[in-house]
Amino acid sequence: MIELNIQETLNFISNDEINSYSNKINEANDSLYNKTGKGNDFLGWLDLPSKTSGDLLKSINETADRLASISDIIVVIGIGGSYLGARAVIDALSGNFSQLQRSKERKSPLILYAGQNIGEDYHNDLLNVLNNYDYSLIVISKSGTTTEPAIAFRLLKKHIEEKYGKENVNKRIVTVTDKSKGALKRLSDSEGYSSFVIPDDVGGRFSVLTPVGLLPIASAGFNIGKLIDGAKEMEELCRLKKSINDTPANLYAAIRSILYNKGKVIEILASYTPNLNYLIEWWKQLYGESEGKNGKGIFPAGVSFTTDLHSIGQLIQDGMRNIFETVINVQQSNSTLTVPVDDKNLDDLNFLAGKRLSEINYKAQLGTSLAHVEGGVPNISITLPAVNENELGGLIYFFEKACAISGYLLDVNPFNQPGVEAYKKNMFKLMGKPGY
């Protein structure tokens, strides 16, 4: 299970300030569990892990296996919460260069994505790739009318019907959508597509532990049962009425709120593990859409270290002091690689010979944290024992629970996103959509 370390924030805040949040945290938790707070009709994620049935997991796995048996590639169509959570987990668990494997060498299909942008070249390139491989589609949309994935589905539906024949594609298309209404649900029913339900009380950015995320993750060959088990363990821990310091989600939410009120309005989530980059992207949506309302909210940014220490590291170290960092530390690598000895030692690195890269990476992390704290940037550390399904499930639930508490501490509704519609209205008007 994850460990949260706030030691490198204590030069900036006091234990008394943390303890003073006990009542606020308790009130936020009471509002969640009693369903009396803002957005209380979207709290299905709160006990989702413990309520996920074995029958549902079995059905998802059977569908994933069926798609895998006929597909070199599975294209997941969705945007925002309809794809970021699944991609975060799949990328974290996949090899960093898994896309270079030949299709015959793969144990599971390659997962590609569409509808997360409107890039013309992107989707044209995807169609050209799919000419050469057997593929299937997972289409994820509550309504079926969200512009970006709807356009992608139009393109891919036409392509897959032309490739396999319209009468043969219903076994290659699976939808994840509303249980009873919406354009995608109507199409699924009329075309005979297999379909899974997005729960009415779970918003998109909280939906990774529903079929929205579970079906793509299972299709990529990963153990969704263990993912749910890890989330369930964190759910049980978060439900216990302990002190702030004994429950990581409570403590994280309290520290963030205290730092925000001290002018630290930007949070940078950092990882030293490259295949966690999309976990950062998922986190950015989760917190940005949940908190950014009514002129309030911590701006969520992300970096990949040590790479970004050589780009924006200067700003973090020596720029405006309105930021704090949360660093994800992975204790155990999946492989072992040591620095070799070089007889000439022209690069002066023989002092590292025989050391594992993971050890060097960790020392870089510690050195960076010390430098940033000395430079006025508080650091929160989240330690994952390893990158696997169980630990990722716990981390996902931890971030979701802390996000909900953080929203209530800000006195905003953490479960809506009214500002998302603004760009759509302008785009529809500019494109001449009727009624705009």
Supply the pLDDT for residue 242: 74
Q: In whole angstroms, what separates CA 166 from the centre of its chain?
A: 34
What share of the chain has pLDDT > 90, as a percent?
88
CATH assignment, 3-40+227-419: 3.40.50.10490
- Is residue 116 within 8 A of residue 78, CB to CB? The reply is yes
* Residue 170, token pair as written in the block: 């219903």
Q: Which residue in the list 296, 363, 424, 425 is annotated as catalytic?
A: 424
What is the helix (H) or strand (E) element at residue 225, kind and residue range?
helix 224-239
Q: How far apart are CA 218 and CA 214, in angstroms?
A: 6
Instruction: Supply angle C-alpha 26, 27, 32, rounded to 5.
Output: 95
Give the position of tokens 């075309």. Answer: 191
Q: Would you call 215 helix, strand, or coil by DSSP?
A: helix
Annotated catalytic residue 159: no
Instruction: Supply angle C-alpha 257, 259, 265, rounded to 5.
Output: 90
Mean pLDDT across 244-254: 92
Q: How far apart are CA 22 and CA 328, in angstroms?
A: 25
Supply the pLDDT for residue 433: 83
Q: By CB neighbour count within 10 A (0-12 exposed, 13-18 middle, 19+ buried), where does 38 fall?
A: middle
- Is residue 256 within 8 A of residue 290, CB to CB? The reply is no
Is the predicted pLDDT of residue 18 greater than 90, yes or no? yes
Q: By CB neighbour count within 10 A (0-12 exposed, 13-18 middle, 19+ buried), where does 23 fall?
A: exposed
Distances (CA, A) of 405 to 202, 258, 286, 399, 417: 16, 13, 13, 10, 17
Annotated catalytic residue 400: no
As beta bridge partners, residue 135 has 73
As beta bridge partners, residue 20 has none
Annotated catalytic residue 424: yes
Per the prediction, the chain carries an average pLDDT of 94
* 107-160 confidence digits (pLDDT tens): 899 999 999 999 999 999 999 999 999 999 999 999 888 889 999 999 999 999
- Is residue 170 within 8 A of residue 157, CB to CB? The reply is no
Q: How far apart are CA 368 and CA 417, in angstroms?
A: 35
Q: Which fold has domain 48-225?
A: Rossmann fold (3.40.50)
Q: Which residue in the list 8, 289, 325, 400 is annotated as catalytic?
A: 289
Supply the pLDDT for residue 102: 65
Q: How far apart are CA 146 and CA 115, in angstroms?
A: 9
Domain chopping of the chain, boundaries: 3-40+227-419, 48-225
| Stretch among 146-150, 195-199, 217-221 having the lowest mean pLDDT | 146-150
* Residue 397, token pair as written in the block: 């639930």
Sheet order of strands, 3-5 included: 3-5, 379-386, 323-332, 266-271, 299-304
Alpha-carbon dihedral 155, 161, 162, 167, rounded to 10 degrees: -160
Q: How far apart are CA 213 and CA 89, in angstroms?
A: 9
Q: By CB neighbour count within 10 A (0-12 exposed, 13-18 middle, 19+ buried), where does 226 fall?
A: middle
- Is residue 253 within 8 A of residue 402, CB to CB? The reply is yes
Topology match between the domains 3-40+227-419 and 48-225? yes
Supply the pLDDT for residue 263: 97
Q: How far apart are CA 3 and CA 255, in angstroms?
A: 15
Is the predicted pLDDT of residue 241 greater than 80, yes or no? no
What is the helix (H) or strand (E) element at residue 111, kind and residue range?
strand 110-114
| Stretch among 9-18, 97-106, 309-318 having the lowest mean pLDDT | 97-106
Q: Which residue in the list 104, 107, 310, 344 is annotated as catalytic?
A: 310
0.85 surpassed by pTM: yes
